[in-house]
Amino acid sequence: MKADKIRNLTDAELQHQERDLADQLFKLKFQMNMGQTESLKKIRGLRRDIARVKTVLREQELAAARKTEKK
């Protein structure tokens, strides 16, 4: 998922996206431990997507804090 696409989502959508990605990551890790899959690229991609979502959430949180500080 691209950062531009993530930045256009609302806070609720971002939190939902983070939960979905974390769930997918859990399932893939479980499958990998059971020997059913060897998709390291997909796991790596999911971890990066989760990091992107968390980064955008934090950026939005800091921007909101700055707006309240200026008032």
Q: Domains of the chain: which residue ranges?
A: 3-70
Whole-number Å distance between alpha carbons of 45 and 41: 6
Quick one: average pLDDT of 59-65?
Answer: 92
> Which residue has better confidence, 71 or 62?
62
pLDDT at 71: 67
| CATH number of the domain located at residue range(s) 3-70 in this protein | 1.10.287.310
Q: Which residue from 2, 12, 5 is spatially nearest to 49, judged by alpha carbons?
A: 2
pLDDT at 39: 84
Q: What is the pLDDT of residues 17-54, one digit of tens each?
A: 999 999 999 999 999 999 887 788 999 999 999 999 99
Q: Which one-letter amino acid corresponds to residue 68?
A: T
Give the distance, in angstroms, between the CA of residue 6 and the centroid of all CA atoms in the same chain.
Answer: 9
Whole-number Å distance between alpha carbons of 5 and 69: 28
pTM of structure: 0.86
